[in-house]
Structure 1
Amino acid sequence: MKILIVEDEIKTLNGIEGLIRQLGEPYHVVGKARNGLEGIELALLENPDLIMTDIRMGEMDGLEMIKQLNDRRFSCKYLILSGYADFQYAREAMTLGSVDYLLKPMTKDMLKEALCKIDGILENEKASIRVSSFSAQELFERVFLAPEISGPVFRAEFYSRFEDAEELHLLLVRGENRFVDTVKKQIVEGLRQSMDPDRLLVCAQKGSQEIYMLIRGGEREAVKCLVGRQICRLYEKGLDDKVFSFHSFQGIENLEDAGKRVRDNAGWSLTLGRRQIISDERIRELAIQKFIYPSDLEQAIIRRINTGELGEIEDDIRAFVRFLNDKTYACADIREALVCLTVAVLYAIRKASYGVYENISHLNLMDWIRQLLFTDHYIQIMMNVLMQYRHYHDGLHHNAHPLVQKALRIIDQGYKGELSLEEIAGSLSVTPEYLSTLFIRELGIKFTTYCTQRRIECAKHLLADPNRKIYEVAGESGYGDVKYFCKVFKKYTGLSPGEYQKNQS
């Protein structure tokens, strides 16, 4: 029996491993993890028969790990390691498919009894399982979505359901957000119309952004035409924010390659735009132009951020996107251009306000850009980001609450000394909690973040002088500890003080 142990306490983790080693055959520890995230990664890599997991852990707890593995249709047994205080959680784990639970601390005999029980369950399941009893739909889900854990037996059974060199067609439906059940049902039912249900297999991981449909038999053009008509009806129902990628192939053994093909082709939605069925033939028809990055348009956007003249920045971003759409460029060139502009915008915001940049960095902006389906969505994403910066900029220079403006003046005059939220709040006759809340509401960043920004701005000004020593700059910027100053400076600017000073000369 292959066993994975997931436990955040290193002493307990090693102790359990030691007990299993003492028990000997047939028990083998194939991996050890310190939290649920590591547990998922090791489970998919090692494919254990049993996962022994604690409940309360950092990063991801044991219950969430089990839920996510269940969503991936991962097949194994679970043994919960529970303290008395976790008994209620252990009961919940039983509803998720946990076989049993052990109270910590455990003895060798307790562990042996639990493992023997699970070993018996596994043997009974092996004796009773009949792969041939699975439907083609169930096999498709296992083999296509989880090939790393389905194994050769399921794959061989699935392949046996098809004729040699059978004509097959794979359709990928992709959205930028996860499909909710109602939308997924609408798409699947819409595409099933006018099609023999026995010819269609559908699979999608729970909460994913993709739906796959495998269509059996039929001449390629006829099937594509049929699918196209149904997709047009979906467009008319307002689902034109989805990408449809279609590929025909022969032989079920080529399914994995077909899956890669439809995923790669789906990226061409950046070039083709909405209401297109993307296929190899449609891509080959494109007359791809040589791409030259529009540096002048990027500079216009960055200039507005640097000067704070944000009133017409949306027009500049639209001009950038319009440039990408005016000619036929490769999807990789378009995505790279969007990534380059995003990096430039984030760098400009970081220079202006690390606090705003820090808030934005939590949005996983680069992941959004890499998953972007249509260029017009980029405008909305970037304006949402820039509105956060505009909120900070306008509050700083024009519209902030009078108390915040007074606090800013106190900080500007006293940033070289010790600054305390409590002292400034006291001088303004308000509570620290109220002043802190005002700062976040009016500027979008914390009081402490603004104080640090002010000191770093002073340091940048001083470092423009190549003769300044780093320790002098640290002291004049309000930092008594040079090492700490260097650490904070690099965090806020991306450069060490020495690197920044060299760049200024």
Structure 2
Amino acid sequence: MRILVVEDEVKIRRGMANLIENHTEHTVVGEARNGREGLELTELYEPDLVITDIRMPEMNGLEMIRNLYEQGSARHFVILSGYSEFEYAKQAIRYGVDDYLIKPLAPEDVICLLDSIQKKILRERSARLQNSPERELRDILIQSEYDSSKIFEVGEALSLPVAGSFRLLCAYTGCATQEERKQCMQRFGKLRGKFPGQRFYYFYIENTREFICLTENKNWESVKGELERKLLQNVLYSHGWVWTENIFEGLENIGVTYQKVREQYPYGMILGDTGFISKERIQEYRPVEYVYPVQLEHQLQTAFYGEKKEEVYKAGQRFIHYMAELRVKPDQIREGYIRMAHFMLSLSQEGNRRLYEQLLNLNLMKSIGTAVTRKELEDTLNREIRILASGLSQRENISNYTIKRALDYIRNHYQESISLEKVAASLDITPEYLSTLFNREMEQNFSVFLKKFRISHAKRLLKDTDKKIYKIAKEVGYADAKYFNRVFKDVEGISPGDYRALH
């Protein structure tokens, strides 16, 4: 069995895990400190059994079990209970808890209980093989370790030859709707009628958003043609799904093949809208040299500083179009989106703290880092572009016209030796009044804003040019290169030289 242990006391948690790993043949796939972590690890690792304490911080064991019960989880549960918690343990039976263990734990009781639950799981698996072998095949694939004996049992239930030749079709469905997934299932169902002599077994994996189909490796060109005419035209091209196909010999290799298929998904950023992705297509693909569009950063920056909302949006769309036309490596596409997202984030930081915090809360870098399709990358960046442009609308609504003029002065003279007094004099107001306005409208004082503004420009020059650091210092308003180094490190946490090396 695959077991998850949920317990806030480290000694008990580690003791239970060590007992299971050293005295049984079961595997501890994860350990959690509370119910909230338990929920996350249950979704991630799909354990057969969850052993959980009751009283824990953040979320107790009963709440976790109730959540999983309401989600329709098919896990088995064992409660760790003290005598004072016995009533809680009885209450948990309503949520499908199999049994409970009384603390302090006796090793022989733990081993005996695990054996009992293992037998129960085997009986359930046997029943499922008779009634729903495709679900059992799904359960095999979502585990990281593949038991060949289980695979052979499933193959026998599906009437598949163990030593046969097979094809695995996998689709990453992204944000597909329930109706789109239903349509996909119906199309594959019709394949059975179109090719009555061929077996098709298919299912959907919720947590990874994948559609999987296992079929015998025969009539492939006819099957492929039917799929491309009836299914892929509607689903693949319209909704940004990534379809892959791989041939393999011997049913026991289905797990290894599935992992290889998942490694092919990123090629959906390049090849995803032109049919099935296969090992052969990837080998034939010839990426060209990657060139990041620095000029589009400059266009975006000019539009942002000029407070031209439409131009900000257009510059963002030009970037998306440029990346869509590239034929480079998938990781270079992702790298380009990450770089542009960082650049847009730094722009927002210069002039609007609320806007900057709003973008930070979106977890854009995480979304880009986990994106599989080009559409997911584009949707993430479009969210950032819309928020950045809307931030300009907010800035246009700043009630104090004096601050607008102050910002314009800084943009035009940041390379010079400017100060609060000099800016105030240019506006014909007192430095004290300008300082008050700046704190109220920009939510930061004048010197902090000026420092961040200059460092932002320095970062761009460090990334995009080969200029000496002392020259960059002068270009952004610092006559003393050593002082510039100190200020840069104060803002970014690293020296200008280290920043250039990292970027």
TM-score between the two structures when normalised by the length of structure 1: 0.67
Q: Is the 1:191–1:230 Cα contact (8 Å) retained in structure 2?
A: no
User: Which residue pairs with 1:297 in the alignment?
Assistant: 296
The whole-number CA distance in structure 1 between the counterparts of 2:379 and 2:13 is 52
Q: Is the 1:169–1:247 Cα contact (8 Å) retained in structure 2?
A: yes
Q: 1:18-37 alignment to 2 at 5 Å?
A: 33-36=32-35
1:413 and 2:444 aligned: no
User: Which residue pairs with 2:211 in the alignment?
Assistant: 211
What do the CA deviations read for 1:133-177 (whole angstroms, capped 9, x no partner)?
6143133112112243x6454234235553254221111122222
Q: Displacement of 1:79 after TM fit?
A: 0.9
User: Which residue pairs with 1:125 in the alignment?
Assistant: 120
Tell me the amino acid that sits aligned with residue 158 of structure 1. V
Q: Is the 1:170–1:214 Cα contact (8 Å) retained in structure 2?
A: yes
The whole-number CA distance in structure 2 between the counterparts of 1:345 and 1:465 is 28
1:189 and 2:181 aligned: no
What do the CA deviations read for 1:113-136 (whole angstroms, capped 9, x no partner)?
996994584275278566486143
What do the CA deviations read for 1:245-298 (whole angstroms, capped 9, x no partner)?
222232223323322333233322322353633233444554532222222223
Give 5+ residue unaligned stretches, structure 1: 425-438, 440-449, 474-485
Q: 1:114-193 alignment to 2 at 5 Å?
A: 118=113, 121-122=116-117, 125=120, 128=123, 131=126, 134-135=129-130, 136-148=133-145, 151-159=147-155, 162-177=160-175, 179-193=176-190
Q: Is the 1:168–1:217 Cα contact (8 Å) retained in structure 2?
A: yes
Q: Displacement of 1:192 after TM fit?
A: 2.0
Q: Percent identity?
A: 18
User: Which residue pairs with 2:467 in the alignment?
Assistant: none
What do the CA deviations read for 1:324-368 (whole angstroms, capped 9, x no partner)?
344533333323222222222223333444442332222221233
The whole-number CA distance in structure 2 between the counterparts of 1:107 and 1:60 is 17
Alpha-carbon spacing, 1:376–1:209, altered in 2? closer, same or farther (3 Å)? closer
Tell me the amino acid that sits aligned with residue 134 of structure 1. L
Aligned CA RMSD, in angstroms, stands at 5.2
The whole-number CA distance in structure 2 between the counterparts of 1:239 and 1:192 is 21
Tell me the amino acid that sits aligned with residue 78 of structure 1. V
- Tell me whether 138-147 or 226-235 shows the greater mean CA deviation: 226-235
Alpha-carbon spacing, 1:315–1:126, altered in 2? closer, same or farther (3 Å)? closer
Q: 1:311-350 alignment to 2 at 5 Å?
A: 311-326=310-325, 328-350=327-349
The whole-number CA distance in structure 2 between the counterparts of 1:48 and 1:411 is 67
User: Which residue pairs with 1:226 in the alignment?
Assistant: 226
Alpha-carbon spacing, 1:120–1:141, altered in 2? closer, same or farther (3 Å)? closer
- Tell me whether 75-84 or 322-331 shows the greater mean CA deviation: 75-84
The whole-number CA distance in structure 2 between the counterparts of 1:166 and 1:216 is 8
Q: 1:470-485 alignment to 2 at 5 Å?
A: none
Alpha-carbon spacing, 1:357–1:285, altered in 2? closer, same or farther (3 Å)? same
The whole-number CA distance in structure 2 between the counterparts of 1:189 and 1:257 is 28
Tell me the amino acid that sits aligned with residue 399 of structure 1. N
The whole-number CA distance in structure 2 between the counterparts of 1:176 and 1:83 is 47
Alpha-carbon spacing, 1:95–1:152, altered in 2? closer, same or farther (3 Å)? farther
Q: Is the 1:5–1:51 Cα contact (8 Å) retained in structure 2?
A: yes
Q: 1:53-64 alignment to 2 at 5 Å?
A: 53-54=53-54, 57-58=57-58, 63-64=63-64
Q: Is the 1:164–1:251 Cα contact (8 Å) retained in structure 2?
A: yes
1:246 and 2:238 aligned: no
Tell me the amino acid that sits aligned with residue 213 of structure 1. C
Q: Is the 1:99–1:118 Cα contact (8 Å) retained in structure 2?
A: no
Alpha-carbon spacing, 1:126–1:142, altered in 2? closer, same or farther (3 Å)? closer
Q: Displacement of 1:214 after TM fit?
A: 0.9
Give 5+ residue unaligned stretches, structure 2: 408-430, 456-476
Tell me the amino acid that sits aligned with residue 205 of structure 1. I
Q: Displacement of 1:51 after TM fit?
A: 0.4
Classify the secondary structure of the residue corresponding to 1:329: coil
TM-score between the two structures when normalised by the length of structure 2: 0.67
Q: Displacement of 1:312 after TM fit?
A: 0.9
The whole-number CA distance in structure 2 between the counterparts of 1:89 and 1:167 is 50
